Structure 1
Amino acid sequence: MPHIDIKCFPRDLNDEQKSALAADIAEVITRHLNSKDRSISVALNEVAEAEWKAQVWDREISPKMDELIKKPGYSM
């Protein structure tokens, strides 16, 4: 049951754009993990740029750098 939690700077996407993003992500997960579409959930959490380091980098990226299957091309 894959759950994808996307964190990004605010993008001002409308509902149609969010649905398209979720559909594209679900398609990739279905293909690579052999999951059923009905078992996939996707969340989009917008984080202000000023809060990125404290909310995302310090809590989720930096402490788990060795576990990431794609590492960011930046550091803080």
Structure 2
Amino acid sequence: MPHVDLKFITRNLTEEQQNAISEDIVGVLKKHFGSTDDSVSIRLNEIPKDDWKGEVYDPIIKANLDKLVKKPGYSMD
């Protein structure tokens, strides 16, 4: 029962774009986890660029660098 909370800089995605992203993510989870459509939930969480460091980078990325399977190629120190 995977849940994905995808945070990204605000892009003002249309509903069609959001659905396409969701379908792609579900496809990956089905392939690698054996999930079903009914077992997946997804949140697309747009974060304003000016809030990225305080809301995402420092508390989530920087605080968990040793646990990330894919580390960012940037820092915000």
TM-score normalised by the shorter chain: which range applies?
A: over 0.9
CA distance in 2, matches of 1:49, 1:17: 20
Query: What corresponds to 2:19 in structure 1?
Result: 19
Give the RMSD, CA atoms, in angstroms: 0.7
Query: What corresponds to 2:55 in structure 1?
Result: 55
Normalised to the residue count of structure 2, the TM-score between the two structures is 0.94
Shift of 1:64: 0.7
**Residue 59 of structure 1: SS of its match in structure 2?**
helix
Gapped runs of 5+ residues in structure 1?
none
CA distance in 1, matches of 2:47, 2:61: 14
- For residues 15-65 of structure 1, what are the alpha-carbon distances to aligned partners after superposition, in whole Å with 9 as ceiling and x for unaligned? 111011000000001101111111001101111111100000111001111
Amino acid at match of 2:57: W
Query: What corresponds to 2:9 in structure 1?
Result: 9
Normalised to the residue count of structure 1, the TM-score between the two structures is 0.95
Gapped runs of 5+ residues in structure 2?
none
Amino acid at match of 2:18: K
**Residue 24 of structure 2: SS of its match in structure 1?**
helix
